[in-house]
Amino acid sequence: MSNPLFSDQVLSHVNRIEVYQPGKPISELQREHNLFRISKLASNENPLGSSPKVVKAIQSELMNLGRYPDGNNYYLKQALADFLQRDVSQIALGNGSNELLEMAARAFAGSGDEIVYSQYAFAVYAISAQVVGATGVEVPAKDWGHDLAAMADAITERTKLVYLANPNNPTGTFFGKTEWEDFIQKVPKHVIVVLDEAYTEYVTDPDYADGLDYLDAYPNLLVSRTFSKAYGLAALRVGYMVGHPEVIGYINRIREPFNINHLAQVAAQTALTDQAFVKKTVELNQQGMVSLMRFFDDMDLEYIPSQGNFICVRLGESAPQVNQALLAEGVIVRPVAKQGTFAEFLRVSIGLQKENSHFMDALRKILSRSA
Ligand SMILES: *Cc1c(COP(=O)(O)O)cnc(C)c1O
């Protein structure tokens, strides 16, 4: 960048923010390597795309782009309320759940406040704390996952909000009912707990603690979910948050009036009606997960057991080189850290069978070359 002109004017906490690094887009790799076959396993997207019903529903709305969308998201909220067995007053919608995660910080925390989250948690939590000028308190992970007991201990009088991801991205780890219940009981009633369940549809472990079951007992709990992953609508940006009507009301006050565009509302509402698509997505994910774990076992590679649609595999200090070599083979995966032991891992999203095979063949080839 050229000499900064406004570094004295920009808020210092904004100046310190490191820009979120998204997964490499397919078109970028195509430009760089002139590759024909590319498998993008970098952003935990749905490899099946989205439900054909959604595509049809959007197509029939293409003549209605001249008017503003319904700012109250009436039909989508109603559909969600029915689906979740909740009242519409308990639901807020976001331009992706990402926006809701940040709105929670904007509504409840500011300069001088603390926001608690785990080491190796979703990068957006630290960014959201920085955006509002709050102090981010990162609690060391345990076995790559959230150490909920330590997180409860990290709460002080200055803590306004805690972010939790269950399952967590990028590690794929999850926490069970006992650990969760111990935690939420210990959290002071005035501290907002944002439980990010972006991957809840993929979870197979019966000990998983579903946040919705705890909303009635804990008015300080907000559960966020998304249409970006199992519903396959990442491009359209729709997420939702469920909580106590008063807390949801505060989120809605700072929401931009038209944050969910019309096509996104129609798409999400239709996507909810196609649970068969979600089921197919989850089944494909389970098959892919099993074949990747088997492959890692065969190759003697360590991995972090995952409840999401992705898995982290340990490649040691040469992980960045392996990543580059995978790119040269047309496989995009995700480096998860720049330094420390976690940088020895790469995160691989579960794709279609042929994409998973592309990855496995490429990795086998790369590792046999360096052996
Ligand atoms: C993908 C993801 C989200 C969802 O992001 P959207 O903004 O809804 O697309 C939220 N939290 C975690 C942990 C994620 O991995």
Best probe residue, ligand 1, of 98, 118, 199 (max atoms within 8 Å of C-beta): 98
Radius of gyration of the chain (CA): 21
- Percent of the chain having pLDDT more than 90? 89
Per-residue model confidence (pLDDT) at position 183 = 98
Looking at the CA of residue 122, tell me the nearest atom of ligand 1.
13
Best probe residue, ligand 1, of 228, 310, 350 (max atoms within 8 Å of C-beta): 228
Nearest CA to ligand 1 atom 10: 198
Which letter does DSSP use for residue 205 in this model?
-
Encode pLDDT of 361-371 as tens digits: 999 999 998 76
Per-residue model confidence (pLDDT) at position 371 = 66
- Asked if pLDDT for residue 54 goes beyond 80, the answer is yes
Q: At what angle do helices 97-108 and 123-131 cross, to 10 degrees?
A: 40
Please tell me the distance between residue 199's alpha carbon and the centre of ligand 1 in angstroms.
8
Contacts 24+ apart (CB under 8 A), 337-341: 337/120
Looking at the CA of residue 100, tell me the nearest atom of ligand 1.
7
Q: Which CATH architecture best describes the domain 52-273?
A: 3-Layer(aba) Sandwich (3.40)
Encode pLDDT of 284-298 as tens digits: 999 999 999 999 999
Which contiguous run of DSSP H or E holds residue 362?
helix 353-370
Collapsed DSSP state (helix, strand, coil) of residue 311:
strand
| Contact criterion met (CB below 8 Å) for 115 and 307 | no
Instruction: For residues 203 and 207, give the distance between their C-alpha atoms in angstroms, rounded to a whole number.
Output: 10
Which contiguous run of DSSP H or E holds residue 95?
none
Phi, psi of 208 (to 5 degrees): -60, 135
Q: Give CA 85 to chain center in angstroms.
A: 24
For residue 322 the two structure tokens come to 């392996």
Determine whether 181 is exposed, middle or buried from the number of CB atoms within 10 Å of its CB (0-12, 13-18, 19+): middle
Nearest CA to ligand 1 atom 2: 198
Looking at the CA of residue 165, tell me the nearest atom of ligand 1.
13
Per-residue model confidence (pLDDT) at position 7 = 86
**Angle made by CA atoms 331, 146, 284, in degrees to the nearest 5:** 40
Please tell me the distance between residue 21's alpha carbon and the centre of ligand 1 in angstroms.
14
Q: Give CA 38 to chain center in angstroms.
A: 23
- Asked if pLDDT for residue 36 goes beyond 80, the answer is no
| Contact criterion met (CB below 8 Å) for 155 and 191 | yes
The domain segmentation of the chain, as residue ranges, is 12-49+276-370, 52-273
Please tell me the distance between residue 370's alpha carbon and the centre of ligand 1 in angstroms.
35
Q: Give CA 17 to chain center in angstroms.
A: 19
Encode pLDDT of 90-118 as tens digits: 999 999 999 999 999 999 999 999 999 99
Instruction: For residues 97 and 229, give the distance between their C-alpha atoms in angstroms, rounded to a whole number.
Output: 11
| Contact criterion met (CB below 8 Å) for 61 and 262 | yes
- Asked if pLDDT for residue 4 goes beyond 90, the answer is no
**Angle made by CA atoms 237, 121, 167, in degrees to the nearest 5:** 70
Judged by average pLDDT, the poorest of 9-23, 83-97, 171-185 is 9-23
Looking at the CA of residue 99, tell me the nearest atom of ligand 1.
7
Q: Write out residues with Cβ below 6 Å of ligand 1.
A: 44, 96-98, 122, 165, 169, 196, 198, 226, 228-229, 234, 239
Over range 345-351, report the average pLDDT.
98
Instruction: For residues 84 and 366, give the distance between their C-alpha atoms in angstroms, rounded to a whole number.
Output: 46
Which contiguous run of DSSP H or E holds residue 94?
strand 91-94
Compute the residue count for the chain: 371
* Domain 12-49+276-370 CATH (choose: 1.10.20.60, 3.40.50.300, 3.90.1150.10, 3.30.1490.100): 3.90.1150.10
Over range 192-221, report the average pLDDT.
98
For 25-91, the three-class secondary structure string (H helix, E strand, C coil) is CHHHHHHHHCCCCCEECCCCCCCCCCCHHHHHHHHCCCCCCCCCCCCCCHHHHHHHHHHHCCCHHHE
Looking at the CA of residue 229, tell me the nearest atom of ligand 1.
1
